[in-house]
Amino acid sequence: MSKNVETQPVVEVLVNTSFEETRIAILENERVNELVWERRGALNIVGNIYKGTVENVLPGISSAFLNIGYEKNAYLYISDVIGTDKKNIDKVLHKGQEVMVQVVKDAISTKGMKVTMDVTLPGRYLVLTPHQSFVGVSKNIESAEVRHKLNEVVQDLAAKHLNGMGCIVRTEAEEATHDELEREVKYLYRQWQSILKKFETSRSPKLLHEDMDAVLQVARDVLSENVQVYLLDNKNDYERVRDFVEKNSPDLENRVQLYKGKTPIFEAYNIEPEIDNLRKIKLPLPNGGSIIIQEAESLCAIDVNTGKFTGNKSQEETVTQTNIEAANEIAHQLRLRNIGGIIVIDFIDMRKASSRRRVLEALSQAVQGDRAKIRILPITKLGLVEMTRERKRASTGSFISEECPECHGSGRVLSAESMRIKIQREIYDLTNGRPGGNLRVVLHPMLAEAIKNHQDDIEQNIHRTLKIQADPQLAWEDYKIVLE
C-alpha cells in the first residue's frame, strides 16, 4: 500500500509551549497553513464524551437542551439523536432522561456547545462508530485497489472484534500493516467498553471520556510519512508525543524532535509575523489585487478587488486571473484563521461562464488540503460564491482578540470632521449660542491636532474663545467640554 508522494506537500509541525498556552503551526511547503491554539484553563471539550441529563425538549425546533456539567446547556438537534426513525424528538427524549453525548462544536458567543448521541472514538488509523454497523474507507485514499484491500481487511477485523459495531478507515491507514490495524481495533473496543461501564455506574452530569490535548491530537491526526519533522520546544510534550508515536507508529518516531535553539521556535521559523497578520482585514494578492475579509457572528464576507493589476491581456482574462489568485489565498486564509460557518465570496464580475467555471475549479482545488468539511455552491452570474466550512471551535481571530472598546465591534470610529461638528454642536447647545466667555475642550491628542486646524472657524461659529487641550488618556470619541 503506497502513496503517490510526488504530489504530497512537505509538512512540518512546530509546537511552542509556554506557561499559559500551547501554539501549534502546521507548515506545508514552508508556508504556515494551519494554527492550533490551546490555553490553560480554557474549555477545550470538543471530542469529549459526557453522561448528560435532558433539561428541555422543544418539538417546535426539533431540539433538546442537556445539562452536561457546564454553565450553558448543550444543544442536541434531532438529526443527532439515536433511534428517532423519523419520530418527533419529544417521542424519543423526555425531561430528566440520562443520555450519552459527545461534544462536536464548542460554545461560540452566546450559543452553548453542540452535542451528538452518535458517538465516535478516533484512533490513528480508524474511527470507531459504536452506533453504526458499516465499515467505510476514507475518500482521500485515491487508489481503488488499496481502498478495496483495506475494506476487506477491516471488515474481517470488525466481524472478529467489534461485536456488530462499525468503523471508518482513515487516510493514515493507507500504509498500515494488518497487525497495526488489529491492535487499534482491539484498543478502541476496550476504550468503548470502559466508557459504557462509566456511563452505567456514574451519576449525571459526568465526563466519561476526555479527548487528547492539542499536542497529541495533531500527532494522531497529522503525523504521517509526509511530515518531515514534528518539532517541539517543551521536553515534557516531546516525551509524551515520542511515547505516543513509539506505540502507534514506531516508523515515524525519528520525525519527533526536541527544539534546542536559543531563539524562540516561532521566531526562528518566522511564525510570529503570520500571527500578527491574522487581524488584518485587507490582504494583498501577488499581482496587485487584494481581498478584504470581514467576519461577523453568523457569516464571513470576502470581497475581491483588482487594485493596481491591469494585466497584459483582455479585461476578462485579467479579472479571471485575479479571481483565481484570490481563490487560492481565500482557501489559505480560511484554514489559517479557522473561519467556519457560512462564507460568501464576492469575486470580481466575469462575463463568460467558462471564466466563472475556472475560478470555481481553482477554489475547489485550493481547499482540497483542508481538514475541515467544506461545501461550495455554484458561482452566480454576479460572481458570488456561497460556501460552508465546518466549524468546531471559534475562529482564531475571535479567540485571540476581543471587541474594540472604542468602535464596539463596528471596526470604525467617527471621523475627525464628524467629531469636530459634533463637539461644535454640543457647545452651541450648552451656551444657547450666547457669545462671551472662554471654553476648554479636552480631546484625544490626534483629534486635538485635527481640530486646531479649524479653531478659527469653530470660535466664529460658537462666538467664544476656545482652548484645545490634548489628553492621551482619552479614547478617540471621548472628550470633555469645560466652561471657564
Task: Pull the grid cell for residue 155.
Answer: 471488515
294-323 tens-digit pLDDT: 988 778 999 998 876 565 668 888 899 999
Q: What is the pLDDT confidence band of residue 248, given thresholds at 50, 70 and 90?
A: confident
CA pair distance 169, 173, nearest whole angstrom? 7
Residue 440 has pLDDT above 80, yes or no: yes
Helix (H), strand (E) counts: the chain: 12, 24
| Chain centre distance of CA 309 | 31
pLDDT for the residue numbered 6: 47
When the pLDDT of each residue in the chain is averaged and rounded to a whole number, the result is 88
Assess whether the previous peptide bond of 405 is cis (omega < 30° from 0): no
* Cα distance between the two ends of the chain: 86
CA pair distance 468, 458, nearest whole angstrom? 11
CA pair distance 29, 9, nearest whole angstrom? 6
Residue 51 has pLDDT above 90, yes or no: yes
Main-chain dihedrals φ then ψ at residue 80, nearest 5 degrees: -100, 10
Whether 117 and 76 have beta carbons less than 8 Å apart is answered as yes
Residue 5 has pLDDT above 70, yes or no: no
Specify the amino acid at residue 141: I
- Among residues 101, 95, 98, 96, the alpha carbon closest in space to that of 77 is found at 101
pLDDT for the residue numbered 270: 92
More confident residue, 483 or 321: 321
Counting beta carbons within 10 angstroms of the beta carbon of residue 173, is it exposed (0 to 12), middle (13 to 18) or buried (19 or more)?
buried
Determine the average pLDDT of the residues in 266-271.
93
88-101 tens-digit pLDDT: 888 889 999 999 99
Whether 396 and 369 have beta carbons less than 8 Å apart is answered as no
Percentage of the chain with pLDDT > 90?
A: 51
pLDDT for the residue numbered 308: 66
Angle, in degrees to the nearest 10, between helices 178-201 and 144-161? 40
Q: Which residue has the cell 479579472?
A: 319
- Among residues 124, 127, 136, the alpha carbon closest in space to that of 102 is found at 127
Specify the amino acid at residue 13: V
Total count of residues recorded for the chain: 484
Main-chain dihedrals φ then ψ at residue 245, nearest 5 degrees: -70, -35
pLDDT for the residue numbered 42: 65
- Among residues 302, 307, 315, 378, the alpha carbon closest in space to that of 347 is found at 302
Task: Pull the grid cell for residue 291.
Answer: 481581498
H or E stretch including 77? strand 74-77
pLDDT for the residue numbered 284: 92
More confident residue, 175 or 213: 213
CA pair distance 189, 184, nearest whole angstrom? 8
More confident residue, 461 or 354: 354
| Chain centre distance of CA 217 | 16
